Amino acid sequence: MPAHVARIAVAAATYWIDKPYDYRIPQQLQDKLQPGMRVFVPFAKGNRKSEGIVLAVTEESARDQLKSVLSVLDEEPVLNAEQIQLALFMHERFFCTVYDAIKAMLPAGLWFDREGKRRVRDKTIEMARLAIAPEDASVIAGNKRHRSPQQANLLDLLCSFEALPSHELLRFTGAGRQSLKALVSAQLVELYSREVFRRPLMQTGERVPLPLLNAEQQRAFDGLSALAKEKKACAALLFGVTGSGKTSVYIHLIQQQLSLGKSAILLVPEIALTPQMLTTFSSHFGETIAVLHSSLSVGERYDEWKRIKSGKAKLVIGTRSAVFAPVENLGILIIDEEQEETYKSENTPRYHARDIAKFRCVKADCLLLLGSATPDIVSRYYAQTGRYSFYSLRNRYNEQGLPAVKIVDMKREMRRGNGGNISSLLREELTVNLERGEQSILFINRRGAHKLISCGACGYTYKCPRCSVSLTYHSANKRLLCHYCGYSTRIDDACPECGGILNHIGAGTQLIVDEIEELFPGVETLRMDTDTVTPVGSHEVLFARFTQEKIPIMVGTQMVTKGLNFENVTLVGVISADQSLYAGDYRAGERTFSLITQVVGRGGRGERPGRAVIQTYTPDNETIQQAARQDYEAFYQAELLLRQTQNAPPFCDILAVTASGQNEAQVVQACRFVRRRLETLLRDLESIHILGPTPLAVVKVNNRYRYRVHLNCIANAKVRGAIAQVVGECATDKRFRGVAVFADQDPLD
């Protein structure tokens, strides 16, 4: 019996009314409409035309009167059954609409405007080929040699090729467009369109054999390979010190899966890491690679998605969103530097790539591999308790030791009269490196020149008028900038309140570069932060310059801390190790340990040993001491005890309901309502703690106040259901008009 009803996720449906809506399938569409296709449908009382996607088709509906599907937008489904299930999973898990989930899964170039026209068209080129047999064309070319030499040249060239792009055909022969048209009119040549893919520019390495594995790498590969061959869903953690050669293990595992006809996905935490990864992996896998990240143009991302979906690309390398790549027959999914917060989306849907990866690996019965030198505490705990398999690489692949680390007490430096940001020890080490022709990396996790401009007389500071933060001074354009909303203003010559002298407090990448130039005149310094890598591909250009031109010193934020491999870097300096240690977040210690360990690991990856200098105002801090020793296991054991005391992950989940709005009192009132309702709905649950309302660390951003209610508990279906209900109640309560309320699991801020 033909299907007459389509269950559709409608784009116009907000979260609190989001559900599959039944629509009647018109007679003329019954044989065409399939799950995974997008449609236009009338929605709500005004029958406003809205886009939707078909989740299922069925013979009947529980409702008697149904509206009809207006039109079908796709020739074939853009989502398969597994992807539809993933969208429904995201709806339940991440408090988003099904359509929000689907929009995260599909490239922007695939979406339609209100008239049903796709925003990005397929790119095609005009091709030319013979319409007759090559033998006949050769005879005709000979007859035309004297009367129409250009036509003869065109026919001669086409006799040697099956087809050629028409612009290349004309360029090679020197013929004019009119001669080609004459051959087409005479039905000797035919023109047709062929689709071509817009590919991102990338440096591809020469094809080389797979890297040789040492004994430790081979043991890890053998164990992981055995897991992958079991053809069942499983997860493993590969712990390897910086420079231990985890990438070589990835390459062998991916090659194994590709040889079996399967596909692979490799996630990296930063766009800045993709150039090196692509160069390395293309030297082994060539054109089978596709790349997905946010710096691609809309057309490039759309065409890479099409290459993946058509099976032309079997290996996908990219950042967080690449976890949605539409590969068929997935064999392995690898998350490199899996502890990084960039894998967590801060916009709707607020998913973590690790959770999506787990879902996909369960559906594909394949291996999820998490790799890191500083694994997430939760991942390490799961490995300890047997939930994940565990493999380790304890030594560097080049048999060099880890960098020798020295800690500098910056309080003592100040007492000695050094009020700068470069300690005397770090200056001496930089001098040694300059004399040897070796390179150095300096890490400070703040851009700009000064964190704070303050009056020494009255204490006045420049505040953002739209956010509850101080403005950061940028010396490049001599302006104060808010890093949250982008507000900018000029700096005064004197305090605008009392006319006193303005003091510049704190340091950022710009100030460190200025100090280096004062200490070492004429020495070129490269700066890497979001102010210098905004243009598409600029990070790749800067890293290439650093490597090829052997620029002596690079100063950067956390984008220089992980995954990068510079063989001539032998010195790493951590300018302000305490900066992230007192952030008021239960992850502060883990974040600090990871950043220091990762950036120290950039040194000594070549033939020469590495050194590192850590500058801190708290040299006896246990986390900094552990990072200096590169002792992850000691840090993990201490952090695990602290997490147990705090009742934080991995011992429970943290969920949050956040309210934001322009009226602070109204926002607080909404949070109080959320807490009361949750206490009522979840009163039967044991071991649940509901806290708040509490302001976020930055309470006001772009004139909107932000408060939050936290839940410490096991995030089961009942808890998520209660949170979803309360979010919906807030959205429909007239008291909270103008207040946005949303939920999240394990928020970052």
Relative to beta strand 164-165, strand 48-58 is: unpaired
Beta strand ranges found along 102-188 (DSSP E)? 124-130, 164-165
Top-ranked range on mean pLDDT: pick from 43-47, 50-54, 122-126, 537-541: 50-54
**What residues does 656 pair with on adjacent strands?**
710, 744
Q: How many CA atoms lie within 13 A of 378 on its CB side?
A: 16
Q: What pLDDT, on the 0 to 100 scale, is given for residue 316?
A: 96
Distance CA 581, CA 586 (A): 10
pTM for the model = 0.89
Separation of first and last alpha carbons in the chain:
53
Residue 305 CA neighbour count, 13 Å, CB half: 25
Rounded mean pLDDT of the chain?
A: 90
Residue 454: other Cβ atoms inside 10 A? 19
3-state SS of the chain: helix, strand, coil percent to 5?
Answer: 35, 25, 40
What percent of the chain shows pLDDT beyond 90?
Answer: 63
The two beta strands, 479-481 and 472-474, are antiparallel
Q: Is 749 exposed, middle or buried (0-12, 13-18, 19+ CB in 10 A)?
A: middle
Q: What is the per-residue pLDDT across 32-48, written as a single tens digit (0 to 9) for each?
A: 999 999 999 999 888 99
CA distances from 478 to 148, 354, 542 (A): 68, 41, 24
Cis peptide upstream of residue 326 (ω within 30 degrees of 0): no
pLDDT at 396: 86
Q: Pick from 108, 132, 239, 519: which is nearest to 140 by CA?
A: 132
**Do 284 and 207 form a contact (C-beta atoms < 8 A)?**
yes
DSSP alpha helices (H): ranges in 339-463? 353-364, 377-384, 410-415, 424-436
- Give mean pLDDT, residues 213-234: 94
Helix (H) or strand (E) holding 136: helix 134-144
If you average pLDDT over residues 726-737, what whole number do you get?
Answer: 94
* Cβ contact 559:447 at 8 Å: no
Give how far Cα 21 sits from Cα of 5, 12, 54, 174, 205, Å: 10, 12, 10, 60, 50
Say if residues 745 and 654 touch (Cβ distance below 8 Å): yes
**Residue pair 277/203 in contact by the 8 Å Cβ criterion:** no
Whole-angstrom Cα distance, residue 633 to residue 620?
Answer: 18
Residue 113: predicted pLDDT: 73
**Side chain identity at residue 601, one-letter code:** G
Per-residue model confidence (pLDDT) at position 273: 72
Buried b (16+ CB within 10 A) or exposed e, 255-293: ebbbeeebbbbbbbbbbbbbbbbbebbbbbbeebbbbbb
For residues 678 and 734, the answer to whether their CB atoms sit within 8 Å is no
- What's the DSSP call for residue 403? P
Q: Where is pLDDT greater, at 146 or 714?
A: 714
- Where does 215-393 sit in CATH, by number? 3.40.50.300
Is the peptide bond between 20 and the residue preceding it cis, with omega within 30 degrees of 0?
Answer: no
**CB 627 within 8 Å of CB 614:** yes
Say which DSSP state 47 is in: T
Give whole-number Cα distances, 461 to 3, 90, 455, 465, 478, in Å.
67, 44, 7, 12, 16
**CATH T-level assignment (fold) for domain 404-449+507-643:** Rossmann fold (3.40.50)
Residues of the chain with CATH 3.40.50.300: 215-393, 404-449+507-643
Alpha-carbon distance of 505 to 521, in angstroms, equals 24
Contacting residues for 407 by C-beta, under 8 A, at least 6 apart:
614, 616, 619, 624, 625, 628
The number of helix segments (H) and strand segments (E) in the chain equals 21, 30
Contact 623, 592 (CB under 8 A): yes
Q: What is the DSSP letter of 208?
A: -
Q: Which residues of 103-114 are buried (b: 16+ CB within 10 A; e: fewer)?
A: bbbbbebbbeee
Q: In the Cβ-directed half-sphere of 109, how many Cα atoms lie within 13 Å?
A: 17
Query: Is residue 558 predicted with pLDDT exceeding 90?
Result: no
Rounded alpha-carbon distances, angstroms, from residue 262 to 256, 327, 354, 390, 739: 9, 9, 21, 24, 47
**Residue 2 pLDDT level (bands cut at 50, 70, 90):** low
- What stretch of H or E contains 283? helix 274-285
Predicted confidence band of residue 487 (pLDDT cuts 50, 70, 90): very high
Task: Please say whether the structural domain 653-745 has been given the CATH code 3.40.50.300.
Answer: no
The answer to whether residue 269 scores a pLDDT higher than 60 is yes
**Of 422, 373, 396, the residue nearest 573 (C-alpha):** 422
* HSE-CB of 138 using CA atoms within 13 angstroms: 6
> Distance between CA atoms of 654 and 21, rounded to whole angstroms?
32
Return the pLDDT at 1: 44
Write the single-letter amino acid at 29.
L
Identify the three-state secondary structure at position 156.
Answer: helix
- pLDDT, position 274: 75
Concatenating the DSSP letter of every residue in 352-383 gives BHHHHHHHHHHHHT-EEEEEESS--HHHHHHH
The residue among 481, 533, 463, 474 whose CA lies nearest residue 508 is 474
pLDDT tens, position by position, 277-334: 888 888 899 889 998 887 777 888 888 998 999 999 999 999 999 999 999 999 999 9
Tell me 72's DSSP state: E
Question: With contact defined as beta carbons under 8 Å apart, do 623 and 700 qualify?
Answer: no
Q: Is the pLDDT of residue 718 over 90?
A: yes
Task: With CA atoms as reference, report the closest residue to 569 among 255, 224, 342, 242.
Answer: 242
The pLDDT tens digits of the residues spanning 633-671 come to 999 999 999 999 989 999 999 999 999 999 999 999 999
Over residues 465-475, the pLDDT tens digits come to 999 999 988 87
Classify residue 115 as exposed, middle or buried by CB count within 10 Å of its CB (0-12, 13-18, 19+).
exposed
Query: pLDDT tens digit string along 7-18?
Result: 999 999 999 899
Interval 510-555: pLDDT, tens = 989 999 999 999 999 999 887 777 655 667 788 888 888 999 999 9
For 548, what's the count of Cα atoms within 13 Å in the CB-facing half-sphere?
A: 6
Q: Residue 402 has what DSSP assignment?
A: P
The C-alpha atoms of residue 597 and residue 592 are separated, in whole angstroms, by 8
> Could you report the per-residue pLDDT of 593-627, keeping only the tens digit for each?
999 999 998 888 888 899 999 999 999 999 999 99
Residue 484 CB neighbours (<10 A): 15
Contacts of 123 (CB under 8 A, 6+ apart): 195, 196, 197, 198, 299, 303
pLDDT at 565 over 90: no
Largest Cα span, the chain: 96
Q: Topology of domain 5-106, per CATH?
A: GIY-YIG endonuclease (3.40.1440)
Q: What is the DSSP string of 569-625?
A: EEEEEES-TTTTTTSSSTTHHHHHHHHHHHHHTTSS-SSS--EEEEEES-TT-HHHH
